[in-house]
C-alpha cells in the first residue's frame, strides 16, 4: 500500500506532520479528515521509510520505566474513553512524549495498527515492555469491545503494585540509612582515629588489654591492606549480584526466606497477595482460569511458591479443582485454600480472590510496621555496641594507667 507524508492542521494553531498508508491520495485525505485533521499538503513517499525509522529502536533494548508505562496506559485509556480512535490516540501520545525510544516505539505500534493488526498484536513486538499479562488483558478488552475500560483496569492494577513496592522501599530506607551510617562511622574510627592513637598506646610501656589489642590489629590491617579490603568488598558485591542467577540458587534463597521468622510470613503474604490480585483481575476480565493462572505465575518472585502454583496448574489441566490443588501444596495457608474452594463451588472465584488479596495486603502492611519497629532498635543496638566496644577498647589503657598511678 502506498505511503503518503502529510501536513495537517489540528485545531486553530497546531500543525501535525506524519505519514499514512492509503490506497490513493484521495483515500489519504479522507482518512486524515476522519481523524478531525485538515490536510494542507500530501506527498507520496517511498514505502517503508517510516518502518525503517521506527526500526531504529532495537527491539532487544527498547524499554520504558514501569511508572512511564502506567502513565501511558492511563492516558491511552482516557483518550479512547473520549472517543478518539486508537490510531489517532497513539499518534497523540507519540507527539507528546519526550523520550526518543518511547516515541519511536509508539510510532511503530501505530504502523502495525494502521496495517490492520489488532492493537494487542502490535504490542507483542515489544515483549520487554508489554509482558504477556498486559497483552492478554488488552486482547480481552478488544474482544469484549471495552478496551478503554480494560486499560483503566490495567493502569489501576499497576499503580497498586507500584504503591506496594514503594511502601516496602520506604519502610526499609531508614534502617538501611542507619546501617550505612553506622558502618561508615566504624570504618572512620578504625582507619583514621585509631592509627593516630597507636603511638600513644605503644609508648605507655605496659601490656595492653585484650580488647585494645584486637581493635588495634583490625585497625592496622585495614590501614595497611586497605586495597585488599576494597578488593574483597568488590568481589563480595559481585558474588551477591550473581546470587539468584540460576534456578537452583533462586529456589534455595526462596526456601530460606520462607523459613525465616517473621520474614517468612511477609514473603508468603506478599507473593500470595500479588498472585491473588492478578488472578482476580484476569478472571474478572473474562480470561479462562487456566490461562489466567499461567499469566499470573510471572508476577511471583518466590520460586518455591511459583513451583507449587505451576503444579496446581498442571493438575487443573488434568481436570482437578484449584481449591483441592492448593490444599495439596505445602506453602498455602488454610485461609486461602478454603476460600478458593468455596469460591469455585459458588462461582464467585474472582470475588473470593479479591478478598484474599485485600487480607494479605493488609497483613503485608502490618508485617512491614512490625519489622520496621524491630529493625530500628536492633540496628541501633548492633551499631552502638560495635562503636561502644571500640571506644571502651581505646579508653581501657588510659584507665589502667590511672590505676597504676594511684
Same domain, 32 and 172: no
Same domain, 233 and 374: yes
pLDDT of residue 204: 66
Kind and range of the H or E run holding 190: none
Answer yes or no: is 142 within a domain: no
The phi and psi torsions of 395 (rounded to 5 degrees) equal: -90, -20
Same domain, 270 and 391: yes
Please count the other Cβ atoms lying within 10 Å of the Cβ belonging to residue 286.
14
Answer yes or no: is 147 within a domain: no
Q: Do residues 333 and 225 touch, judged by C-beta distance below 8 A? A: no
- What distance in Å separates the CA atoms of residue 76 and residue 307, rounded to the nearest whole number? 35
Q: Do residues 322 and 344 touch, judged by C-beta distance below 8 A? A: yes
- What distance in Å separates the CA atoms of residue 358 and residue 341, rounded to the nearest whole number? 18
Q: What is the block-wise mean pLDDT of the chain (406 residues), using blocks of 10 residues? A: 74 67 80 75 65 46 78 94 92 85 86 88 87 90 89 92 86 85 87 80 74 87 85 87 79 91 91 93 89 90 92 88 88 92 91 94 90 85 89 82 63
- Sheet of 3-10, strands arranged across: 14-21, 3-10, 38-45
- Domain of 288 in residue numbering reads as 160-406
Same domain, 43 and 180: no
Task: State the CATH number of the domain containing residue 6.
Answer: 3.10.20
If one counts the domains in the chain, the total is 2
Answer yes or no: is 114 within a domain: no
Same domain, 172 and 41: no
Please count the other Cβ atoms lying within 10 Å of the Cβ belonging to residue 72.
19
pLDDT of residue 47: 52
Answer yes or no: is 380 within a domain: yes
Same domain, 281 and 406: yes
Answer yes or no: is 323 within a domain: yes
Answer yes or no: is 106 within a domain: no
Answer yes or no: is 126 within a domain: no
Answer yes or no: is 379 within a domain: yes
**What's the count of helices (H) and strands (E) in the chain, helices before strands?**
18, 3
pLDDT of residue 12: 55
The residue behind cell 518472585 is 301
Residue 175, Cβ density class (10 Å: 0-12 exposed, 13-18 middle, ≥19 buried):
middle
Task: State the CATH number of the domain containing residue 396.
Answer: 1.20.81.30
Amino acid at each position: 500500500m502506498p505511503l503518503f507524508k502529510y501536513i495537517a492542521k489540528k485545531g486553530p494553531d497546531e500543525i501535525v506532520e506524519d505519514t499514512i498508508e492509503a490506497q490513493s491520495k484521495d483515500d489519504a485525505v479522507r482518512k486524515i479528515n476522519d481523524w478531525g485533521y485538515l490536510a494542507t499538503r500530501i506527498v507520496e513517499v517511498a514505502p517503508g521509510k517510516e518502518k525503517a525509522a521506527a526500526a531504529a529502536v532495537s527491539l532487544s533494548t527498547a524499554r520504558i520505566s514501569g511508572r512511564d508505562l502506567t502513565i501511558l496506559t492511563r492516558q491511552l485509556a482516557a483518550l479512547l474513553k473520549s472517543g478518539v480512535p486508537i490510531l489517532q490516540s497513539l499518534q497523540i501520545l507519540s507527539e507528546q512524549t519526550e523520550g526518543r525510544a518511547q516515541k519511536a516505539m509508539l510510532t511503530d505500534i501505530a504502523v502495525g495498527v494502521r496495517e490492520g493488526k489488532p492493537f494487542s498484536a502490535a504490542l507483542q513486538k515489544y515483549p520487554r515492555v508489554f509482558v504477556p499479562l498486559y497483552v492478554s488483558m488488552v486482547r480481552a478488552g478488544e474482544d469484549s469491545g471495552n478496551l478503554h475500560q480494560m486499560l483503566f483496569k490495567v493502569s489501576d492494577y499497576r499503580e497498586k503494585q507500584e504503591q506496594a513496592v514503594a511502601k516496602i522501599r520506604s519502610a526499609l530506607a531508614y534502617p538501611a540509612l542507619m546501617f550505612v551510617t553506622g558502618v561508615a562511622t566504624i570504618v572512620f574510627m578504625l582507619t583514621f582515629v585509631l592509627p593516630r592513637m597507636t603511638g600513644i598506646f605503644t609508648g605507655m610501656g605496659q601490656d595492653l588489654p585484650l580488647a585494645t589489642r584486637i581493635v588495634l590489629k583490625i585497625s592496622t590491617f585495614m590501614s595497611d591492606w586497605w586495597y585488599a579490603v576494597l578488593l574483597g568488598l568488590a568481589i563480595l558485591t559481585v558474588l551477591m549480584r550473581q546470587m539468584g542467577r540460576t534456578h537452583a540458587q533462586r529456589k534455595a534463597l526462596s526456601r530460606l526466606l520462607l523459613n525465616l521468622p517473621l520474614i517468612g510470613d511477609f514473603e508468603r503474604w506478599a507473593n500470595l497477595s500479588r498472585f491473588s490480585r492478578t488472578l482476580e483481575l484476569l478472571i474478572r476480565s473474562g480470561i479462562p482460569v487456566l490461562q489466567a493462572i499461567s499469566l499470573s505465575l510471572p508476577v511471583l518472585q518466590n520460586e518455591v511458591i511459583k513451583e507449587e502454583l505451576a503444579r496446581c496448574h498442571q493438575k487443573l489441566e488434568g481436570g482437578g479443582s484449584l481449591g483441592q490443588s492448593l490444599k495439596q501444596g505445602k506453602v498455602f495457608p488454610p485461609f486461602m485454600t478454603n476460600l478458593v474452594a468455596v469460591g469455585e463451588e459458588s462461582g464467585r472465584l474472582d470475588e473470593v480472590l479479591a478478598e484474599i488479596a485485600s487480607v494479605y495486603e493488609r497483613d503485608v502492611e502490618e508485617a512491614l510496621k512490625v519489622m520496621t519497629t524491630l529493625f530500628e532498635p536492633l540496628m541501633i543496638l548492633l551499631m552502638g555496641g560495635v562503636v561502644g566496644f571500640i571506644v571502651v577498647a581505646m579508653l581501657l589503657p588510659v584507665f589502667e594507667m590511672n590505676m597504676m598511678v594511684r
